[in-house]
Amino acid sequence: MKPEFDLKAHVRHVPDFPKPGILFYDISTLLINPEAWRETVDRLKVAIEPYKPHKLVGIESRGFLVSAPLAYLLGIGFVMVRKRGKLPGEIIRHSYDLEYGQDVVEVQADAIQPGERVVVLDDLLATGGTMGAAIQLLRGVGAEVVAAASIIELTFLAGRARLDVPFSTILSYDS
């Protein structure tokens, strides 16, 4: 049995980014290490495979980095949920409230067929607002959202409580 790989050692903490008072959890240092990245993808695969999704949905933009290799490994499709105005063709949108204002997420109208089982992924779950909005958007196009997952969860922000699907993460930070 191989020893536990310390993935937290490969996540850089950047204080005051993107603005003062924010501690940014940077996965770019995880991505550049092939062993750490492989371990990350393998752990997420183990977490989401039991849900037997037809497609994986990545949230812009670092969620794409997580979802695409997993979809490839699982032999299933990959769908992008993006911010307003970044997808061509017919799109479906969902507006949601932020702490100060509103935002919009969109998906291409033909990306998911009604009844398809999907798992939503992002690099990090903070307050759960964007992931919750993506789940609502996907349900609006007829998807069966069976789970959600991320590499990192900031448990002190209680984002998991805003989700009404099973949620998996491989790294948690309590402060």
Question: What is the set of domains in the chain, with CATH numbers?
Answer: 51-173 (3.40.50.2020)
CB crowding 37-62: b at 16 or more within 10 Å, else e? bebbbebbeebbeebebbbbbbbbeb
The catalytically annotated residue of 49, 60, 93, 99 is 99
Task: Indicate the pLDDT class of residue 5, thresholds 50, 70 and 90.
Answer: confident
Q: What is the pLDDT of residues 26-70, one digit of tens each?
A: 999 999 999 999 999 999 999 999 999 999 999 999 999 999 999
Task: Indicate the pLDDT class of residue 101, thresholds 50, 70 and 90.
Answer: confident
Instruction: Report percent pLDDT > 70 for the chain.
Output: 98
Question: Is 62 noted as a catalytic residue in this protein?
Answer: yes
* Candidate from 88-92, 95-99, 169-173 with smallest mean pLDDT: 95-99
pLDDT higher than threshold 60 for residue 1: no
The catalytically annotated residue of 43, 62, 82, 160 is 62
pLDDT higher than threshold 70 for residue 2: no
* pLDDT value for 3: 61
Indicate the pTM of the whole model: 0.94
Using the structure block, give the residue that is written with the tokens 């495979």. 49
* pLDDT value for 4: 77
> In DSSP terms, which residues pair with 169 in a beta bridge?
150
Q: Strands across the sheet with 77-83, in order?
A: 91-98, 101-108, 77-83, 55-59, 117-125, 144-154, 167-173
pLDDT higher than threshold 70 for residue 165: yes
Question: Is 84 noted as a catalytic residue in this protein?
Answer: no
CB 115 within 8 A of CB 144: yes
